[in-house]
Chain A
Amino acid sequence: MTDKQPQSRTIMVVGGGIAGITAAVEAAEAGYDVVMVEKSPTLGGRVAQMNRYFPKLCHPTCGLEINYQRIKTSKRINLFTLSTVAAVKGSAGAYTVTVKTEPRFVKPNCTACGDCAQVAETAIADPFNYGMKTVKAAWLPHTMAFPMRYVVAPEVVRTPEGERIKAACKIGAVDLDDQGASFDLEVGAIVWATGWKPYPAANLTAYRWAELPNVITNVEMERLASPDGPTGGRIVRPSDGAVPKRVALIQCAGSRDLNHLGYCSRICCLASMKHAAYVREQVAEAEVDVYYIDLRAHDKLESFMRRLKADPQVRFVKSKPARIEAGAEDNPVVCGENTLTRDVYAQPYDLVVLATGMQASVEGDGRLAGSYDDYGFVFTEGETIGAGVASGPLDVSMSVQSATAAACKAIQVVSGVRG
């Protein structure tokens, strides 16, 4: 407790993934004004990039849609997309936050009709699909985008193509003079919900993700399996589009490894169970081998793993593979020691999926949150409030719980209960 009275009762939430959305609606519904700052053109974060998510294997729409409704009906939430925090001054109760907004070149009156995309030609790598496909220079970030608004790529702005895109919009929503903005906001508390990024698979040199086309990561697998993904939801080999019959899932690709991520990312074992299920649902004859150190089905999710263990076409191999080699017909060959039988194996597969872990995305963003743990996650103490994976490797339900707790802490700060 301090005798200092908070000067602003507004709560800022940085990051608009499932955690940031939750913190924002919880605080707003409790009667507090909220400013949301989201780096990408849309809310939803990584959850929107999943095909389905455990525990119930829902489509991401389930969780996101209801929250979008809560945001729409709330008069207290102000959302800034394509925005990041550039600087934080002051202290709890009275922060001055500098927000920087990148130009979208599309105004709020956009109806998402798609006329602009019809005339766009330049192809750019689609960040939503981890660059596995391209989008045209005027595009909707994804089918569940919120706000439901197109984006025009800066690459085409001062070109004839840009002018054609502008002309195609019947309601004049394309604004090629958009300069973006930089402005200061006074807020009383900041919730950091900046989430995670996949650990770079290229760092795992022995697994050769960068060289071997049929070695992919778990986040790429989510996109492959998604109906709105690069293959329309068909799980196929990137090299030749063939349906994979033998699939390897490699756990702890980077996690629990002092050379990479020193911690367990907690969700990858279950994410891989999901991937085994995706493959088995699509390809009746497919055989899936899961390579693991230990299987960690946290929380109440043991039953999901048991279900897959009962499937005779899903095999569990206790081994952290040592390396992957290039085999015939672009088949990656997984090599290592089976630690139960002590057999040294070299097993060819049609497709190998690396279960890469989650790394805090705040790392390298200027460390504005103030307090971090040894792994770069926001550490909630004193003035610092973290939520979701920004604060540690959590699944969706745990992220939502931590976001509710964060909203509660922020409310305490701005109402002078603690600070």
Chain B
Amino acid sequence: MNALSPTPTKKYDLSFARWVYRNVDGGDRLALCMQCGTCSGSCPIGAQMDFGPRKLFMMIRAGMKEEVLSSNSMAACVSCYNCVVRCPRKVPVKYILQSLFTVAVREGYAQSVDSDNARFARAFWWSAAKFGRTDERLVTARFYFSYGLSAGFKKSMANLAIAKGMVKAKRMHLGLPHTCKNAGELRKILAKAAEIEARHAT
């Protein structure tokens, strides 16, 4: 499933916006955005985003698919929900960013694929799918080493004291990872989910 690219021959192309309205979580409410700026003004990390949510939404309407999906805005969102509770049009800003983030990762936009959020999500999902549980130690290791061997080692060493503290407080365990009961059932559920997703993608 690909996000439609706007037709370059048309001056003002709504095809990408319409695609977002239909395929992105909460996207149907995006049409109600009145560009007031409450979301971008409320965003604690808006300064680090290529574009604040308000501008990103206008770019969607303007058909700027490439610029939207290659921006870091979606990956930078910290899910504080200020924008969601304050939006006067009840546009679920955070959910839209998150869903657009998934689209950008799926379509291979580097900013999103290589972001901390995406790396962490992949490590998290790896553990959840494999063991039916998240293992703090393995998720963290997998997340750190996704940056390469030496970067992973450096990050691990820098956080060693925290890890030790967590082990001591029994918040992180050594030894074999915990697993859920009936791992076979879990695999069947995941296979079914993959099948449904593939069906929807066509």
Contact = CB atoms under 8 A, between A and B. Distances in A.
Interface in B55-91: 55, 82, 85-86, 88-90
Contacts of A361: none
Q: Which of B35, B37, B54 counts the most A-chain CB atoms under 10 A from its CB?
A: B37
A301 interface: no
Q: Which of A252, A257, A259, A320 counts the most B-chain CB atoms under 10 A from its CB?
A: A320
B41 A319 contact: yes
B40 A337 contact: yes
Contact of B52 (A257, A293, A342): A342
B28 to A, nearest CB: 15
Contacts of A259: 85-86, 88, 90
B90 A337 contact: no
A242 interface: no
B70 to A, nearest CB: 18
Q: How large is the interface on A (under 10, 10 to 19, 20 to 34, 35 or more residues)?
A: 20 to 34
A293 B41 contact: no
B90 A336 contact: no
Contacts of A206: 42, 86
B52 A336 contact: no
A259 B89 CA distance: 8
Interface in A233-278: 252, 256-260
Interface in A334-392: 335-339, 342, 344
A270 B7 CA distance: 43
A181 interface: no
B102 interface: no
Q: Is the interface of A mostly helix, strand, loop or mixed?
A: loop
A337 B89 contact: no
Interface in B13-39: 34-39
B35 A339 contact: yes
A320 B36 contact: yes
Contact of B41 (A252, A260, A335): A335
Contacts of A320: 36-38, 41, 88
A338 B37 contact: yes
Interface of B: 34-42, 46-47, 52, 54-55, 82, 85-86, 88-90
Given A252-B36, A322-B37, 18 more contacts: A206-B86, A258-B89, A258-B90, A293-B34, A293-B35, A320-B41, A322-B41, A335-B41, A336-B37, A336-B41, A336-B42, A337-B40, A337-B54, A338-B37, A339-B36, A344-B41, A344-B46, A344-B52
19 contacts: A206-B42, A206-B86, A252-B36, A256-B88, A293-B34, A293-B35, A318-B37, A319-B41, A320-B38, A320-B41, A320-B88, A322-B39, A322-B41, A337-B41, A337-B46, A337-B54, A339-B37, A342-B40, A344-B41
Interface of A: 206, 252, 256-260, 293, 318-323, 335-339, 342, 344
Leading 10 A-B pairs by shortest Cβ distance: A336-B41, A322-B41, A257-B88, A320-B36, A337-B40, A337-B37, A337-B41, A322-B42, A339-B37, A293-B36
